[in-house]
Structures are given as C-alpha cells and as structure tokens.
Amino acid sequence: MSSNSQNQSKEKLAGLALGAIGVVFGDIGTSPLYAMKEVFHGGLTIDKIHVLGVLSLIFWAITMVVTIKYAVFIMRADNKGEGGIIALMALALQGSKDNPEKMVFIVTIGLLGASLFFGDSIITPAISVLSAVEGLRIIAPPLAHYVLPITITVLGGLFILQAKGTGKVGKIFSPIMCFWFGLLAVLGVINIIHEPGVLMAINPYYAAHILFELGWHGFLIMGAIVLAITGAEALYADMGHFGLKPIRYAWFSFVFPALLLNYFGQGALLIGHPEAIENPFYLLAPTWALYPLLIISTLA
C-alpha cells in the first residue's frame, strides 16, 4: 500500500472516529453528570473508604462491561458490518432454521432486548439533559423552577434535530463532544492532583469490600453504578454507521480515559469535601467556570 493510500486510510479512520464521538458516546459521555450523585443518594456514608469502593465499582463496571464485553468481544459479532440486537438475533437465527421452537425463543429474546434498548433510549436522554440543566440549582438557585421547562425544550429540539440523520448530527455534535470529553478529563485531573490517593480505587479490593460490607444495600448500589455504563450498547448498535475500528479507536484513545479521569476527580472532591455530593460534577469546576460548564453540559 502506498504512503498516500495509508494517509487517506488514517484520515478516514480519524474522521469516522470523530463522528463516532459525536453520535455513539453521547449517552455514556454524560453519565458523569449524575452517576456519582445517585450512588450516594440512598444515604451511603461519604467517607474515604466508601468513595474508593464506589469508584472501584464504577471503574470495573466500565472496564468489564464496556471495554471488555462490548469493545473487545461483542463488536466482533457483526452481521455484514451491522450491529445491534436485531443484527445479533439474525445471526443467531441462521443456525436455527431447522428448529422452529429455538427460532421462536431467539426472536422472543431479540424483541425483548430491542424493547429494553428502546426504553433506555427514551430514559437516558431525559436524565442526561435534566442533570445538565440542574446545574442551575447550583449556579443560580432562584432560577431552579426553570429547570424542567428548559429540559423539555432542549429534548424537543434534540429529537427534531435527530430527524436530519446521523451524518448531520455527527457533524454538529462531534466538535461539541470532543470538547466535552476533553473538559471531563481536565476537570478530573485538576481534582485528582489534590487527592492522588483516589487512584487506589483501581484496586478491586475496594469494590469487593464495599459490597461485602453493605450486603443487600451493596446490591442496591449496583443499580446506581449501572448509570455509569448507560449507552454502552451504542458501541455495538452503531457499528453500521461508523464501523468497528473507528468506534474502538475513539473509545480506547479518548472517551474511556476521559470518563475515568472525571469519575476519579469527583471521588477526589468528595474525599476532601463530602458536602459536594449536592452536585459533585458541577462542583469540580471553579466558580467562574460554572456558567460555561452549564452551557456545554446542556449541549452535550
């Protein structure tokens, strides 16, 4: 292959990866807005050992489910380049044509999975936008009653825009999401510097410790930890739009590190300032940056 062809191939990969950042990772990319806050919402004591435990659960959930399960394994099961639950169902049906009962079972499971996907696609954008706009409660409490109307307006505009197609959405949101993930990383690093011990949460001991310590309550906490991986299925579902390599490239090189840095930054903030649980994402930023952060969060 000539050097010119190689350069074109790299440019195409970079362009598709950029588009994937704008379309594929919108849901999981906005999870830092609310995931950490919701984990502690049930009354979990905010101290160092519990913060490290929660961070460890988030780290290993993202690593095991998104990185290993989806990015490494499930994305291999494409159907002529297409991904998603229906494509997976079609693959499974190919080996079951002579077994009607098995086909019925596969179709039932496939439709159930598609239903869950649609449910997630409805709920997650609403939670993400609402969590972004709720920054008003921190920045300007007197304007808190405008949170819901603004959220509804933004969601309406978003769904109207989506009708324009993936290509146009990608062109509009790719620069925004690139800036967003860069911002997540920067905010995280700034706070990690003040509490570098938070990086100990990479050790799975802390995840196991909090689960065994809390028992049934620990199991319930896992329901909130799942919020950190909402949108993971988009890696597989959007393969037909961007392809395997661009999505993997975007995830491993940019999105995955940015998310982890932000979650660890929130953990570092909570260790030093437990009262920041009111909104650990927005309180990562200095006061002067809150209004710009509100705008970019809402756009993301």
- Residue length, the chain? 300
Per domain, the residue ranges of the chain are 15-299
Q: What share of the chain is helix, strand, coil (3-state, %, to 5)?
A: 85, 0, 15
Residue 226 CA neighbour count, 13 Å, CB half: 9
pLDDT tens readout for residues 80-136 = 777 777 777 888 787 777 777 888 888 888 888 888 878 777 777 777 777 777 777
Q: Which residues of 66-87 are buried (b: 16+ CB within 10 A; e: fewer)?
A: bbebbbeebbeebbeebbbbbb
CA gap 89, 111 in Å, rounded: 9
Residue 251: count of CB within 10 angstroms of its CB? 25
- Distance from the Cα of residue 91 to its chain's centroid: 27
pLDDT tens readout for residues 146-200 = 778 888 887 787 777 766 665 666 667 778 888 989 899 999 999 999 889 899 9
Q: Residue holding tokens 């998104």? A: 66
The pTM of this model reads 0.84
Q: Quick check: 279 and 135 in contact, CB under 8 A? A: yes
Residue 178 CA neighbour count, 13 Å, CB half: 14
